[in-house]
Amino acid sequence: MAHGFAGTKDCGLDSFGSRLADAGLDVVAFDYRGFGASEGEPRQIISPPAQIADYRAALAATAALPGVDPDRLVLWGVSMSGGTVLDVAAGRADVAAVISLTPLVTALANEKPPAHREGAPGDANRTAGSTASLLALAARDKLAARTGRRRVMAPVVGQPGETALINFPGTYDDYVSIAGPTWRNEVNASIALDALANRPNRAAGKVTCPALFQIADHDRCVPVHAAVKAGVKAGALIRHYPCDHFDVYPGKRWHQHIIDHQVAFLTKVLRPQVPAPL
């Protein structure tokens, strides 16, 4: 179990994990390198390839734990990690199920249907000035990474009009409301550019195990249409919720429904198969 874009495991994952554990699963939640409780320098650097490698390493460590069936692993991801689990699960025979919650499967705006393009609430609040400032920071960070200098950081989330990776109305308060003690409101600015090449939707068709996609239909942080298409490619059970991206976390109306559906899905998928009588 891993959190999403710049998230740490103390940002609301315990509510999901404890309920899954109560249902009989062994749950291992982890932070990506450089985030939260994990080691790694420099800190707060989002690298999609590195996070895929970290998730694979976490699976290998989990499979080696006493009492864990190494051929029945479950991948759980939310937001950016909801896409990462598709890359990790693709082509693997030891993965029994995938849960992808409010998944970010592509950052490309043209993956959105027309109703979510220019003129949508989020687009209206990313001003030309804040976008230009973010891209300038991203370019400086790219140069810093190539020359071994100190990385240039940008806020993960900010108020409308502020320079931040996410600055839609209400998202600052939403993110801060789930933030744990290890969370920091900064990441490498270059992720604003690198995210454009991160397209786990391309791996969706290679996921051969049962999958559950949980879509927030009013999600302003990820392209909803692309997430649905990825779910169809993966042959997933797709559930829809009339809410926004952060409405799936503890204290929100849809949180309990979402966990109930995860437990029901995994209970069905992981139930021991009884051979039919001869």
Mean pLDDT by 10 residues, the chain (278 residues): 98 97 96 97 97 98 96 97 98 97 85 40 50 95 97 97 94 97 98 95 98 97 97 98 97 96 97 70
Nearest partner of 177 among 125, 250, 119, 227, judged by Cα:
250
What are the residue ranges spanned by the domains of the chain?
A: 13-116+199-270
- Alpha-carbon distance of 235 to 206, in angstroms, equals 10
Gyration radius (Cα) of the chain, Å: 19
CATH class held by domain 13-116+199-270: alpha beta
Considering the entire predicted model, what is its pTM? 0.91
Q: Which pLDDT belongs to residue 107?
A: 85
pLDDT of residue 127: 52
What's the pLDDT at 3? 98
Give residue 272's pLDDT: 77
**Percentages of the chain per state (helix, strand, coil), in multiples of 5:** 45, 10, 45
Measure the CA–CA gap between 235 and 97, rounded to whole angstroms: 12
In sequence order, which residues have a C-beta less than 8 Å from that of residue 110 and are 6 or more positions away? none
Instruction: Please tell me the predicted confidence (pLDDT) of residue 111.
Output: 53
pLDDT at residue 270, rounded to an integer: 95
Cα→Cα distances 251→12, 22, 184, 225, Å: 10, 19, 21, 26
